[in-house]
Amino acid sequence: MTEINTTTVLGAGVIGASWTALFAAAGMDVRIYDVSPTVENDVTTYVANAWPTLMELGLAIEGRKGSVSFHGSAAEAVSSAQFVQENVPERIDVKHALFAEIEPHLSSQAVVCSSASGLMVSEMQQGWNDPSRFILGHPFNPPHLIPLVELLANDNTQTDALATAEAFYKAVGKVTIRVRREVPGHVANRLQAALWREAIHLVESGVASVEDVDKAVWAGPGLRWAAMGPHMLFHLGAGPGGLEEFCDRYTESFHRWWDDLGDTRLNSGLSGQLAKGVEAEAGGQSVEQLARKRDALITGMLKANAHVNR
């Protein structure tokens, strides 16, 4: 694996700033490019706010912090990097223009990973003369806190590029999965989209309020999902017989439920109904207050997971 000690973050909004905090915590130097005139202040503030959590999780340690520098062009920012995390807006023309700019200035061994959630790797590869060092490295927000990274390469990718990226992400504390076939939304976004569609349907059809649907998730299966995935949990759900016995017992029930799931579509009226429900659920708490509560809960769960699995 190529030794990585210098990284570049292209696009330093919320996702890019979060990546910056994580890479710096791992001792990597981070070179940043973003078009925002306030990028330096924004990123510096974000990293400072994230640092106590990174320390609490053991992802940052005293005396280890990579440098963070800001650059006037994407080409300059990537010039000495072994690893590049791209987070610019999800417009294919913007991505292609960026790739065309940086490609001549990249090290031959550098790996470029895109955080894109909605675009396909095959679409983005069309912006490269040689896409062999470019792959998907899709995080869950915020990347410094949520461990998951989804990796996707294809026949145009050099084998060692995927292996290098996977090893790098693991070294900075991430949990990786390999997406074997290109589909819209990759894996995790499709799973949460399926759940949210039914959550919306339950509200729209009058089964439960927004707050009670949310409560049904976090106070019920969400707790289990934070520990294990659905297949392993159902494997445990039928005792010694495991998943095969679980399927034998509950096939008819699941088929009945699946047949009754909603196929709803968002519109302005429904979006407004959901927003009012969330406002009532928030009980006057600001977005910032709710985000701090979310991050504190996730941090506690991650620490508990690490304690059990150490």
Q: What is the pLDDT of residues 118-168, one digit of tens each?
A: 999 999 999 999 999 999 999 999 999 999 999 999 999 998 999 999 999
Cα–Cα distance, 103 to 128 (Å, whole number):
7
Q: How many CB atoms lie within 10 A of CB 140?
A: 17
Name which of 151-155, 167-171, 291-295 the model is least confident about.
Answer: 291-295
Domain span including residue 68: 6-178
Q: At what angle do helices 39-56 and 287-309 cross, to 10 degrees?
A: 40
Question: What pLDDT score was predicted for residue 1?
Answer: 54
- Residues 6 or more apart whose Cβ sits within 8 Å of residue 173: 22, 26, 57, 59, 147
Instruction: With beta carbons less than 8 A apart as the criterion, state whether 68 and 20 touch.
Output: yes
Length of the chain equals 310
The residue out of 157, 178, 199 marking a domain boundary is 178
Q: Residue 262's domain is classified under what CATH number?
A: 1.10.1040.10
Which strand (E) or helix (H) includes residue 266?
none
Q: What is the pTM of this model?
A: 0.94
Q: Is the pLDDT of residue 192 over 90?
A: yes
| Residue 183, domain member (yes or no) | no
Question: What pLDDT score was predicted for residue 3?
Answer: 83
In the sheet where 148-152 sits, what is the strand order?
Answer: 68-70, 29-33, 6-10, 83-86, 111-114, 134-139, 148-152, 175-178
Instruction: With beta carbons less than 8 A apart as the criterion, state whether 174 and 27 touch.
Output: no
Main-chain dihedrals φ then ψ at residue 109, nearest 5 degrees: -100, 0
| Residue 226, domain member (yes or no) | yes
Number of domain units in the chain: 2
Instruction: With beta carbons less than 8 A apart as the criterion, state whether 103 and 133 touch.
Output: no
Structure tokens belonging to residue 282: 């928030």
Q: What is the pLDDT of residues 28-80, one digit of tens each?
A: 999 999 999 999 999 999 999 999 999 999 999 999 999 999 999 999 999 99
Q: What is the pLDDT of residues 254-289, one digit of tens each?
A: 999 999 999 999 999 999 999 999 999 999 999 999
